[in-house]
Structure 1
Amino acid sequence: MQFIAGDIGGTNGHVALVRAANDGSGAIETLAYRVYSCAAFGSLAALLQAFIDAEVGTPVSHCVLACAGQVMGDEVVNDNLAWPIRPDALRATLGLTEVALLNDFEALAYAIEGPLAASGRHLCGPAARGPGPSLVVGPGTGLGAAAYVPGVPHAAIFTTEAGQMDFAPHSLREREVLAWLAPDGGYVPVEHIVSGPGLLTVYEALCALDGEAPVLATPKAVTLAAEAQADRHAVEAVELFCAALGSFTGNLAMTTMPTGGVFLAGGFLSSIFDLLRRSAFEERFLHGRSVRALLAQVPVWVTEHGCHGVQGAARWYTRHRAPSGATTLAGAAA
């Protein structure tokens, strides 16, 4: 059976027409694949309809969508999505029999069983995976994470909202940035620092702290200026971002000891791989004292997000597919 699989983030929507391989391997065959800018569409239904019109030649009645955020009741709860996502409305608008939803990083964790684990560039730690759990972490429009725990007959996948954890500054400069973000104190989620928009926020904060007006207006402009060493605040912003990402990822690693590897996912990190490799990421990831020896056994790779979320969503669907006509709403996984 052919079905639609999508990975819907705050910036881009990755959509594919897929089917499970007939050889019992669990592999997913991709028949068509496109990436859309979410801002170009007034609704998710419009985005999916554009894909159906362009790529789907025969009627398809089943769809699975990996979405940034968590499924609660009949909607996805997330501040970074371009529009509300409600499966009932999608079924009615697109004439679908079934719409299944799961968290986007849950889908990426399922993709570890596919090509994701072999597609990354090694950043630090051992060069080979161990037998333990794995983590997928990714800063994009927001900041997501999920854990993959090997098991028989299937691995267990655990979603998180780790990006909503409180930001914990490490350096004096990070404390100054935090104070600029919350001058009266209060809650500042780590994704306000460790994400694409967070990088721009850090850049603006550093300019303000030094009494200068920011001249760069997008995260991409900040990373390009940092790579060219063309703006000192851009350079410092990327360095602070990478260091904070190291601390955050190390904190998550201490909860699961992922000797199976940490996969830093997303085109954003891939685009700054050289800056990340030269940064304080590894030092901050390792933390200190006795835990340093433990975290040194954890390999870390950077991998393109690409179609991995779509592949993972399709793998999840073939394992959890509900009876025809039902709507599957996925929370923390099994």
Structure 2
Amino acid sequence: MPFLAADIGGTHARVALMRASRDGAHGVETLAYRVFACREFATLSELLKVFVEEDAQVPVKHCVLACAGQIMGNEVVNDNLAWPIQLTQLRHALSLDHIAVLNDFEALAYALDGALTDDGRHLCGPRSSPGGTTLVIGPGTGLGAAVHVPGPAGGVVLATEAGQMDFAPNSVRERELLAQLAPNGGYVPFEYFVSGPGLLTIYTALCTLRRETPALDTPEAITRAAAANADAIAIEAVEIFCASLGSFTGNLAMAFMATGGVYLAGGFLSSIFELLKHSAFEVRFLHERSARALLLHVPVWVTEHGRHGVQGAAQWYLRHGMAETGVPQSAATCGTSA
């Protein structure tokens, strides 16, 4: 039975019509695929209806969503989503029998046994690993991360909200930026620095510290100016972004003993790969820690997000038997059988 698999981020929604592979290899076939700009739709149900009517062109009764944020009861909670997502409303709007939801980076981690590991570019560390726990991390509209622990039946994937951890400055300049963002102290998450909007935040704060008027107003404009060596503040902003990403990645690699490697996912990082490659990322990833001997043996790759989110979501859905039965085994679900 074909089913919808959608990867819903803060900026883009990637939607596919999928079914279990007919060769019996427990894989998935993509029957239709399309990328949407979330800002062009008033609701998620409106976006998915367009896909079903124009691309799927067959009745669809089952759906799995990979979403940024946390699933709290009947709602997906995240400040970076374009609109609130109510599962019951969505199911009724699309006449679905069943809908399931998992974290978007959890879905990416389920794609680690596929193309996600095949099309990456090596950033630092060895080019191979002895295996073990693997991390998927991605700064985009927000900052996501998930952990894959190997084991029987494909292992276990752990979703996280690591991007919400407190930002820890490493340099005097970063302390100045933190004071600029939170002059009275208080909570500032890593996501405020290590994300697309975070890069813009860094750039704007640097302009304030330098008493200059910001000339750039998007993350893309900042990275273009930095790559062209055309704006000193943009260059510094990208350097701080990359260094902070190195610290964040090293922290998680230590916390989860990620001997299987780290995959930095997303088109944003792919677009600045050369800047990242020549930045302080690796220095901050290793950072003279007591675990340096471990981290020296952790490979780090940059890979495109692409279709991997929908493929991972579909793999999760099939693994839990929902496409056939509609009976939820884990994560959040909503349906006539739930």
Q: CA deviation at 1:53?
A: 1.2
Deviation of 1:148 after TM superposition, in Å, equals 0.2
Which range moves more in the overlay, 127-136 or 184-193? 127-136
Question: For residue 192 of structure 1, what is the aligned residue in structure 2?
Answer: 192
Name 2:336's counterpart in structure 1. Answer: none
Distance 2:218 2:186 in 1: 26
TM-score by length of 2: 0.96
Supply the distance in 1 between the matched residues of 2:258 and 2:73 (Cα, whole angstroms): 31
Correspondence 1:330 to 2:331: yes
Amino acid in structure 1 at the alignment position of 2:95: G
What is the CA deviation profile of residues 19-47 of structure 1, one whole-angstrom value per residue up to 9, with x for unaligned ones? 11122322211111100000000000001
**Letter matched to residue 281 of structure 2:** F
> Bigger shift: 269-278 or 90-99?
90-99
Map 1:256-275 to 2 at 5 A: 256-275=256-275
State which drifts further: 155-164 or 26-35.
26-35
Give the Cα separation in 2 of the matches to 1:75 and 1:324: 23
**1:135 positional shift:** 0.1
**Cα offset, 1:57, TM superposition:** 2.0
Alpha-carbon separation, structure 2, partners of 1:2 and 1:129: 37
* Matched-pair identity in %: 64
What residue number does 1:219 align with?
A: 219
Unaligned runs of 5+ in 1: none
Contact 2:320/2:328 (<8 A) preserved = no
Q: Is 1:309 matched with 2:309? A: yes
CA deviations over 1:146-176 (Å, ceiling 9, x no partner): 0001001231000100000000000000000
Aligned pairs for 1:151-170 (under 5 A) are: 151-170=151-170
**Secondary structure, aligned partner of 1:113:** coil
State the SS of the aligned residue for 2:202.
Answer: helix
Q: Secondary structure at the match of 1:302?
A: strand
1:329 and 1:209 map into 2 onto residues whose CA distance is 48
List aligned pairs for 1:171-210, cutoff 5 A.
Answer: 171-210=171-210
Using the alignment, how far apart are the partners of 1:319 and 1:153 within structure 2? 9
CA RMSD across the alignment: 1.2
Q: How many residue pairs get matched? A: 331
Cα distance, 1:182–1:18 mapped onto 2, change above 3 Å: same
Query: C-alpha separation between the residues in 2 aligned to 1:140 and 1:269?
Result: 8
Query: Which residue in the other structure is 2:318 paired with?
Result: 318
Q: 1:122 touches 1:302 (CA, 8 Å); kept in 2?
A: yes
Residue type of the alignment partner of 1:239: E
- The C-alpha deviation readout for 1:180-206, integer Å capped at 9, x for no partner, is 000000000110000000000000000
* Secondary structure at 2:54 match in 1: helix
Q: Which amino acid aligns with 2:260?
A: G
For structure 2, the 5+ residue unaligned runs are 333-338
**Which letter does structure 2 place at the counterpart of 1:249?**
T
Contact in 2 for aligned 1:3/1:18 (Cα 8 Å): yes
Alpha carbons 1:100, 1:328 under 8 Å: kept = no
Classify the secondary structure of the residue corresponding to 2:123: strand
Deviations 1:37-68 (A, max 9, x none): 00000000001011111111221110100000
In structure 1, distance between residues paired with 2:153 and 2:94? 35
Aligned amino acid, residue 282 of structure 1: E
Distance, in Å, in 1 between the alignment partners of 2:69 and 2:141 is 12
Q: Deviations over 1:193-231 (max 9, x none)?
A: 000000000000001001101010000000000000111
Q: Does structure 1 retain, via aligned residues, the 8 Å contact 2:125–2:299?
A: yes
AA matched with 2:285: F
Question: For residues 212 and 4 of structure 1, what CA distance do their matches in structure 2 show?
Answer: 48
